Amino acid sequence: MRTVKEVSRLTGVSVRTLHYYDAIGLLKPAEVTEAGYRLYDDTALGRLQNILLFRELQFPLKEIKAILDSRDFDPSEALAQQIKLLELQYQHIGELISFAREIQKKGVRNMDFQVFDTKRMEDYKSEVKERWGGTREYQEYEQKQEKAGDSAEAGRRMMNIFAELGALRQLSPSDRSVQEKIIALQNFITDNYYTCTDKILGEMGKMYVDDERFKRNIDKAGGEGTAEFVKRAIEIHCAR
């Protein structure tokens, strides 16, 4: 068994990210001690390897979870699929390097943009997704994606919620109107991404402040201090 810090050192995945994976149900520890320490066995590390390989191939976390949670998930078959995709990616990168060197050598005269075509990779990705498409878990994921519609639009709507929370920064985080917005945020995440329990929401509240990218984007949407304000409001919500 390895602690979360040991897993972080072994894999290069931050402790914060491992906590987040636990919160959203993507990677649960094998055991949690009475003191609250997460412990990971070889099975959990094997799942983490699959997660990292799919992440390298640009699969979204919610899609990875739907695949790994499939009742008929076959690790050896998934590995073969991952290898095939990595080979396609490797070939594509090699072609891009050759293309760039040709430009460097002869100047920007080659107007052939076929080298940027990633259709083969995308087609094979679709095959991988379809392989697990008949499972209950993947169908749930697809239904939420269909309901969410355009992912960019969903992201903008989420930023609008942060903007609305930012406009309430002069109030106490415990104010009823603020707490209603927190509930709206939680429901939005559940409807568009994954079931957002209080535990997940609490972990996300910490990330909104600890992760500089989240903090910067949220403060940009709602004004300086919005991320910290949202975190405190979430803490109050989860403590009730």
Domain interval for residue 112:
75-131
Residue 138 lies in a domain: no
What is the pTM (predicted TM-score) of this model?
0.49
Average pLDDT over every residue of 198-210: 86
Predicted confidence (pLDDT) at residue 5 exceeds the cutoff of 80: yes
Most confident of 36-45, 84-93, 135-144: 36-45
Mean pLDDT of the chain: 80
What distance, in Å, lies between the first and last C-alpha atoms of the chain? 34
More confident residue, 125 or 235: 235
Residue 59 lies in a domain: no
Residues 88 and 161 reside in one and the same domain: no
Residue 139 lies in a domain: no
**What is the per-residue pLDDT for 145?**
56
Most confident of 49-58, 142-151, 200-209: 200-209
Domain count, the chain: 3
The tens digit of pLDDT for each residue in 113-125 reads 555 556 666 666 6
Place of tokens 């520890």: 29
Task: Write the CATH number for 231.
Answer: 1.10.490.50
**pLDDT band for position 142 (50/70/90)?**
low
Domain boundary at 100, 131, 162, which? 131
**pLDDT band for position 146 (50/70/90)?**
low
Residues 45 and 80 reside in one and the same domain: no
The tens digit of pLDDT for each residue in 26-76 reads 899 999 888 888 999 999 999 998 888 888 777 878 778 888 887 777 777
